[in-house]
Structure 1
Amino acid sequence: MIEKGCFKMNAESIMKTQVIKVMEDSTVRSVIEKFIKNGISGLPVVNDQNEIVGYISDGDIMRYVGKHKENVVNALYFVNVLQGDDDKFEERAKKILDYNVMEVARKSVYTVKSDEDIEEIARILGKKQIKKLPVEQNGILVGIISRGDVIRNAFSYLL
């Protein structure tokens, strides 16, 4: 547990409470608009009760517009190409804009409670190789923590 004087560093003490998020009934278009407007690359997906139901990142979107096709056997892929079913990048990119966010978002989301200590947060971010962790309290989204938040807070008093 990292402490600075009497100050215990936990999720609540380092999280950002102004969370950019998207509703579960939104489109991928609205997600990408938020990415561009806010200079971010991922955000939590919530329902009407502000419960975390998913997380969408630029990587999730790239899986849909990249050259590979998921769950398609190579032989089947070539049959599709011969039949003209091989969409070009721009066509795939246009199609995904109108998808519901939950068609693309990860439904299994790593989260931390607001009282989680910074050492455990750092462990999760490092081990799971993720950039951000939503913070929840009683299932409700209350904040978000990035790897940068952990580094700045954990090391600022050591420098």
Structure 2
Amino acid sequence: MGIKSYVGRRAKPTKGTDQQIKVSDYMTTNLIKFKTDQSVLDVMNTLIKKRISGGPVVNDKNELVGIISEGDCMKQISVSRYYNQPMKDIKVSDHMATDVETIDGNMNVFDAAELFLKSKRRRFPILEDGKLVGQISQKDVLKAALQLKGRSWR
């Protein structure tokens, strides 16, 4: 009696189905952006009101200078309480992440999904000629996958 394989038959890949599915097709372009001189308290209020987990920080030329997230704000809450500092005096520039990884808007959305898995990041900004033009989140990739399921997945 031999061992049976329970691996199902694999569908042949359809040529070109995912070649043109770019990050730029699914990225968010209407971004909530922050400035370096904003207070962390202002950022916290915006994150809660807009139901987002973070956002890009830009200068006056719309160039990306960092990202601030819920985690950055949480760290500040702890520090402020310990040192008894008023939150309204703490600026974004002091607590944003400045080592920001960006991705190309022409990248395939499935390659972006792999980057999300490897990096453990929640969002990637997209730059064009040094300017912030959009952002793709894990949720945007999930939306893309759901839309594509009807066209190319079996």
Same fold, TM-score > 0.5, yes or no:
yes
Give the number of the structure with larger relative contact order, counting CA–CA contacts within 8 Å between residues 6 or more apart.
Answer: 1
Matched, 1:111 2:135: no
* Other structure's SS at 1:157 match: helix
The corresponding residue for 2:44 is 32
Computed over aligned residues only, the root mean square deviation of the Cα atoms, in angstroms, reads 2.5
Aligned match for 1:15, one of 9, 27, 37:
27
Q: Contact conserved, 1:21 with 1:44, CA < 8 A, in 2?
A: yes
Following the alignment from structure 1 to structure 2, what is the Cα–Cα distance between the partners of residues 97 and 41? 20
Q: How many residues are aligned here?
A: 137
Percent identity at matched positions? Answer: 31
* Other structure's SS at 1:158 match: helix
The corresponding residue for 2:143 is 152
Following the alignment from structure 1 to structure 2, what is the Cα–Cα distance between the partners of residues 124 and 56? 20
Q: Contact conserved, 1:3 with 1:9, CA < 8 A, in 2?
A: no
Unaligned regions of 5+ residues in structure 2, if any? Answer: 1-13
The corresponding residue for 2:8 is none
Shift of 1:148: 1.1
More strand by share: 1
Aligned match for 1:138, one of 120, 129, 134:
129
Unaligned regions of 5+ residues in structure 1, if any? Answer: 70-86
Cα deviation, 1:15-53, whole Å, max 9, x if unaligned, reads 011011111222212211211221111000000110110
Following the alignment from structure 1 to structure 2, what is the Cα–Cα distance between the partners of residues 108 and 46? 13
2:129 maps to amino acid? N
TM-score (norm 2): 0.77
1:133 maps to amino acid? F
Relative to structure 1, is the Cα distance of residues 7 and 88 closer, same or farther in structure 2, using a 3 angstrom cutoff? closer
Q: Contact conserved, 1:45 with 1:56, CA < 8 A, in 2?
A: yes
